[in-house]
């Protein structure tokens, strides 16, 4: 049972990663929303924007009550965070 659950989690992460990759290909998402750096790899998922690593640091300093930051590639995502 645990193996199946892990397999399902892995499939969902692949699905979420594909969605994020597709979203990053959209013209409006090709640049950091805060500073216009090309190819952002971080996101503030509660605000719904992609940001560069430098701006991700600023967002983290704002606190999670304002901005919740995750790496597009390094972190695991949930359906709620992708929506």
Give the global pTM. 0.90
Rounded CA separation 74/46 (Å): 18
Residues 26/5, Cβ–Cβ less than 8 Å: no
Mean pLDDT (10-residue bins), the chain, 83 residues:
80 96 98 98 98 99 98 96 93
Q: Tell how strand 49-51 and strand 69-71 pair up.
A: unpaired
| Domain assignments of the chain as residue spans, ordered by start | 2-82
**Residue 4: per-residue pLDDT:** 72
Topology of the domain comprising 2-82: Annexin V; domain 1 (1.10.220)
């Amino acid at each position: 049972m645990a193996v199946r659950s892990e397999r399902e989690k892995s499939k969902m992460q692949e699905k979420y990663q594909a969605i994020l990759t597709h979203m990053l290909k959209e013209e409006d998402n090709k640049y950091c929303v805060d500073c216009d750096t090309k190819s952002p790899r971080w996101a503030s998922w509660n605000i719904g924007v992609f940001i560069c690593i430098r701006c991700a640091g600023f967002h983290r300093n704002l606190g999670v009550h304002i901005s919740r930051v995750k790496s597009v590639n390094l972190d695991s995502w949930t359906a709620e965070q992708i929506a």
